[in-house]
Structure formats: structure tokens, C-alpha cells
Structure 1
Amino acid sequence: MQLDQGQLERFDKEGYLFLPNTFTADEVGVLRRRADAIFTMDREEVWRESSGVARTAFAAHKYDEGFRRLGAHPRLVEPVMQLLDGPVYMHQFKINAKAAFDGEVWQWHQDFGTWHRDDEMPEPRAMNIALFLDEVSAVNGPLMFIPGSHKGGTLQAGHDLATTSYPLWTLSRDEVTRLANEGGCVAPTGAPGSVIMFHGNLVHASPPNISPFPRTIVYLSLCHVDNHIRAFKRKEWIAHRDFTPIAPLPDDCLAELVKQERQAA
């Protein structure tokens, strides 16, 4: 899948793209069932909220066939290769859940800020591309972006080790207020199968989910192979150390898995 000129210009200006209806209901369904199964697992890669519900499942592409295929899906990998101008490897893979009633906040931050400070990734030649496994609405903890905030480079941040179960380099309220006054604040919403791709320096967050509707999103953090991390302080399943370029699979790789599951049923 390739982005057109208008999409490339919009990404450069705003720092993100929202691509609705990128995956079919069948493709999303097989992944959603697998995510539910992963969230019940007793694995170190599955982090939980203080309530006990799943918050994040790291590196699911390493132990689940459906997410292995998603991690090399051309609809996700090829647009990032286009934007980063070359081959990419998987820096991080995670399934983020916002459980109904109990999904906690993700504070305002830049992902590259963490990748640079914790992993010594040299430059912001890395980005996220995310797939909605649930309907994402205004009420169930959507991602919030400050458009254009990636233009300001890597901003000063503090290391928050207390707010949630996941340590994060977060921005101050004054900094977020300044940026939002300049660029506004948006929260893209849409149906399962929608995709968001966003720059590694785009300032973003998500509020708690106190609604009765769950919200699960899969994130591929892809980095140009020449820009790989230099430090290995975090566990390998959080910040991967295999810098092999991803070879995109055929476009029907998930459809084949749907067919296999139906035949086995």
C-alpha cells in the first residue's frame, strides 16, 4: 500500500494520517479473538493496570501467528517504508487495551523521547502505525494528538514512574498547553479496521476509559534499519534487538488465517 502525494503532504504538516477501513471485519475479528486470549495469559510481556485488567501485551508477534502476520502486513509496513525512505525493522510491538471502566491514562508524551533517552535511538527516523481492533469513540479513551507538534523536535520531558504501571517520559502541563494553543487537539475516531500512522515526535496521549465500551489498538513501532538503537537497557521484548529488515507478506496473509480458522471450526 502506497500513500499518495496529498497524504504525504498532510503527514508532513500534521504529523499523522487517519486511514479508515484499511482492514476488513474478518481480518480484525481474528486478531481481536487472539488479543482476548493473550490478555488472559500469565506472561511477563502482559502488563496490567492496578485493577488487574490488561494494559499492554508486548511482543505478541513473537508468540502468536496472527500478530506475526500483522507485524509484516504490507498495509502497515509499506507506507512506513515510504515515509522513512527505506527498509524498517520492528523496534516495538504492543497491543494496548483500554478495558471498559478500568482503562487508565496514557500521559502526554512523544514516543521518540522514550526511544532516544532509554534506547539511544539516534534520530526520529521511526514512527508508529496503529490498527483499531474495536470501535474507537469519543467516550472510550481515544488517542489525542496535537497536530504539527512533531515540528518542534524532541521536547524536554520528565520521567514519570508513578502515575501508571508503565514508566514514561512525559511533558509538562505548561508545554502541552502551549502546543495545544498553537496547534489544537484532535482525537481521531472510527470503526474497527481503521489505521492511524503518526510521527515519532508527535505529542499525544489518551484519557482513562470509564465507559462500558472496551478499546483495543495494536501498535507497530517501526524504525529505519540504519537508525537502530544503541543501548539495551530495556528488556528485549520491549525494545527489540533484531534489526533485520521486515519483508512484507502478501496482502492476503490475514485472510488466509481467517480461512484456516473457519476450516478448523
Structure 2
Amino acid sequence: MKLTPQQLKDFDELGYIFLPDCFPKEEVAALRQASADIFSQQREEIWREKSGVPRTAFACHTYNEACRLAASDARLIDPLEQLFGEQLYIHQFKINAKAAFTGDVWQWHQDFPTWQKDDGMPEARAMNIAVFLDDVMPINGPLMLVPRSHKTGALPSSHDTQTTAYPLWTLDNDTVAKLVEQNGIVAPTGKAGGVLMFHANLVHGSAGNITPFPRKIVYLTLSAVSNAITKPTRPEFIAHRDFTPVERAPEGALAELAQQHATA
């Protein structure tokens, strides 16, 4: 799947693009079942909120077949190879869960400063691609983005280890307020199966979820092979050390797996 000239222009200008209906409902159902199986387990790779509900499952592509196929899906790999002009490796794979009623916030941040400070990533030649596993609505804690904020480069940030169960390099309120005054806030919403891709320096965050509607998202972080991390401080399941270029799964492999699940 290649991005159109208009999509490339929008990404350069805004720092993100949203692709609705990228994954059909059968494939989403397979990934949603995979997430339920994963979050039912007790593993060190699964981080939980202070309340005990699951927050993030890291590296589940290493032990779950549906996630493995998603992590090597051409629909996610092709656009980034197009942007970076070289092969990619998987820096991180995770499922973020914002549980009904109790899902906690993600503070305002940029991704690259965390990857740089915690993992030794040289440049912002990596980014997240998000696959919606649930309908993302204005009410259930959608990801909020500050358009054009990626053009500021990496901003000063501080290590927040108190607000949530997950430590994060976050931005101060004054910085966010100034950026929002200049550029506003958008919150891409859509049906399960939509794909959101955004620049590593785009400022983003999300509020808590106090609705009955859960919000789960697959995040695949791909980095240019030339941009491999140099000084990782986090566990390998959070910041991968295998810099082998990712190989695309056979076309239709996730759909075939979904069909097997449906008929089992």
C-alpha cells in the first residue's frame, strides 16, 4: 500500500494521516481475540494500570500469530519504507488498552525523545502506526494530536514516573498550551480497522476513559535500519535489539488466519 501524493503532502504538513477501513472486520476480530488472549496472561511484558487493569502488552508479536502477521503486514510497512526510502526494523510492537471506566491517561509527549533518551535512537527516522481494534470515539479517550507540532523538532521533556504506571518523557503545560494556541488539537476517530500514522515528533496524548466503551489499539513502531538504537536502557521486549529488516507476511495471511478462527 503506497501513499498518494496528496497523503504525502498532508503528512509533511500536518505530521499525521488517518486511513479509515484499512483492515476489514474479520481481521480486526482476529486481532481483538488475540488481544483478549494476551491480556488474560500474566507476563512481564504486560504492564498494568495502578488499578490492576491491563495498560500495554509489549512484544506480543513474538508469541502470538495474529500479532506476528500484523507486525509484518505490507499495509503498515510499505508507507514507511516509502517515507524513509530504506528498509525497516521493528523497534517496538505493543497493544495499548484503555479499559472501560478505568483506562488511564497518556500524558502529552513526543515519541522520539523517549526513544532517544531511553534507547539511544540517533534520529527521528522511526514512527508509530496505530491500528484501531475498537471503535475510537470522541468520548472513550481518543488519541489527541497537535497538528504541525512535529516541525518544532524534539522539545525539552522531563521524565514522569509518577502520573501513571508507565514512565514517560513528557512536556510541560506551558509548552503544550503554546503549541495548541498556534495549531489546535485534533482527535482522529473512526471504526475499528482504521490506521493512524504519525511523525515521531508529533505532540500527542490522551485522556482517561470513564465510558463503558473500551479502546484498544495496536502500535507498530518501525525504524529505518540505518537508525538502529545504540544505548538501550529498557528491556529488550520494549526496545528490540534485532535490527534485521522486517519481512512482509504473505499477502492475505492475516485474513486466512481470521477465516480459520471464524470456522474453528
TM value normalised by structure 2 = 0.99
| 1:19 matches 2:43 | no
Separation (CA, whole Å) in 1 of partners of 2:197 and 2:251: 18
How far off its partner does 1:147 sit? 0.2
Residue 51 of structure 2 aligns with which residue? 51
Residue 118 of structure 2 aligns with which residue? 118
> Which deviates more from structure 2 when the two are superposed, residues 175-184 or residues 244-253?
244-253
Q: Secondary structure at the match of 1:61?
A: helix
Residue 222 of structure 1 aligns with which residue? 222
Separation (CA, whole Å) in 1 of partners of 2:139 and 2:57: 23
Residue 31 of structure 1 aligns with which residue? 31
How far off its partner does 1:37 sit? 1.1
Contact between 2:142 and 2:207, CA under 8 Å: does it hold in 1?
yes
Residue 96 of structure 1 aligns with which residue? 96
Matching residue's letter, 2:47: W
How far off its partner does 1:232 sit? 2.1
Can you list the C-alpha shifts for 1:65-90, whole angstroms capped at 9, x where unaligned?
00000000000111111111110000
Residue 247 of structure 2 aligns with which residue? 247
Matching residue's letter, 1:222: L
Structure 1, unaligned stretches of length 5 or more?
none
Matching residue's letter, 1:241: R
Separation (CA, whole Å) in 2 of partners of 1:261 and 1:214: 22
Separation (CA, whole Å) in 2 of partners of 1:121 and 1:46: 23
Matching residue's letter, 1:153: G
Matching residue's letter, 1:90: I
Can you list the C-alpha shifts for 1:39-89, whole angstroms capped at 9, x where unaligned?
110000011111111000000100100000000000011111111111000
TM value normalised by structure 1 = 0.98
Separation (CA, whole Å) in 2 of partners of 1:84 and 1:32: 30
Separation (CA, whole Å) in 2 of partners of 1:84 and 1:207: 31
Separation (CA, whole Å) in 2 of partners of 1:120 and 1:143: 26
Separation (CA, whole Å) in 1 of partners of 2:143 and 2:160: 19
Contact between 1:75 and 1:251, CA under 8 Å: does it hold in 2?
no
Matching residue's letter, 2:241: R
How far off its partner does 1:258 sit? 1.4
Q: Secondary structure at the match of 1:217?
A: strand
Residue 185 of structure 1 aligns with which residue? 185
Residue 61 of structure 1 aligns with which residue? 61
Separation (CA, whole Å) in 2 of partners of 1:210 and 1:250: 40
Separation (CA, whole Å) in 2 of partners of 1:196 and 1:262: 27
- Equivalent positions of 1:143-154 (< 5 A) are 143-154=143-154
| 1:233 matches 2:205 | no
Residue 105 of structure 1 aligns with which residue? 105
How far off its partner does 1:262 sit? 3.3
How far off its partner does 1:110 sit? 0.3
Q: Secondary structure at the match of 1:41?
A: coil
Q: Secondary structure at the match of 1:189?
A: coil
Matching residue's letter, 2:77: V
Contact between 1:146 and 1:185, CA under 8 Å: does it hold in 2?
yes
Q: Secondary structure at the match of 1:7?
A: helix
Contact between 2:26 and 2:259, CA under 8 Å: does it hold in 1?
no
Separation (CA, whole Å) in 1 of partners of 2:215 and 2:262: 25
Residue 262 of structure 1 aligns with which residue? 262
Q: Secondary structure at the match of 2:260?
A: helix
- Report the count of equivalent residues: 264
> Which deviates more from structure 2 when the two are superposed, residues 249-258 or residues 15-24?
249-258
Contact between 1:127 and 1:199, CA under 8 Å: does it hold in 2?
yes
Please provide the CA RMSD for this pair. Answer: 0.7
Separation (CA, whole Å) in 2 of partners of 1:259 and 1:102: 33
Matching residue's letter, 2:118: D
- Equivalent positions of 1:155-166 (< 5 A) are 155-166=155-166
Separation (CA, whole Å) in 1 of partners of 2:101 and 2:262: 33
Separation (CA, whole Å) in 2 of partners of 1:206 and 1:70: 24
Can you list the C-alpha shifts for 1:175-217, whole angstroms capped at 9, x where unaligned?
0000001111000000000000000000000100001100000
How far off its partner does 1:168 sit? 0.3
